[in-house]
Structure 1
Amino acid sequence: MASERRRPGQYVCGIDAALGVIGGKWKVLIIWALHEYPGIRFGELRRQVPGVTVKVLASHLHELEEDGIVHRVAYDEVPPRVEYSLTEAGMLLNKALGPLGAWGRDNIMGGADHREHPARS
């Protein structure tokens, strides 16, 4: 998947390339949640992104990990424990999404004072 997305010449501009990584409804919300709650476990992450299915969340986390946005740590414990966080590239991507959230808040939501969440800001 990641190798398909990163073929030279596949994208026409930087925005096209970025949307290749964050495309869809859920990835931006996952990135936001991982920024807000570093080292979060799967179940808690699912609670922070209401409406996402287990299958979609697992798939998107895997894709974001392949793209170098998410870091996954699996602990050798019983029961198994896995934590997710943003990589440096993921933190930069989250920061880049800030102006998009501000635009949505100011132009779609009417400038209401909302928490800086990509889906709500």
Structure 2
Amino acid sequence: HLDKRHREMLRSMPPLEWAALVLPILQKKVEAVDDSLVTRAMLGDITAHCGIPHGSVSSSMPQRSQRMLILTLRSMSLKSLLSVVQHDLSQHGHQVEEAVDALLLHLRRLAGQAVEPL
């Protein structure tokens, strides 16, 4: 669960910074559920549509407040994190939303239509 301060931090970030912070966490959580080539390709589509170069990793050390946000995001369930991602992706455009929707559908199919356990 993100508190008000963390939600405001995410909302105030430029889209590329937001994507560079949140998408690697999402990727690890999704790959823990399904590490197939299809899932990896879907994650790659989301990353590409957000404008993050493949394999790009921030070399700068995040500030303390960002480190706390990262820890909070990592502690969230996949379902909660996907909810945050889906809610905040409007800043990245329609293609990103479609890519996330496709990933959600794929994960639902893997879970046998039951999204709750994710």
Give the structure with the larger helix fraction.
2
* Shorter-normalised TM range: 0.3 to 0.5
Give the structure with the larger strand fraction.
1
* Higher RCO, Cα 8 Å, sep 6+: 2
Normalising by structure 1, report the TM-score.
0.35
Normalising by structure 2, report the TM-score.
0.35
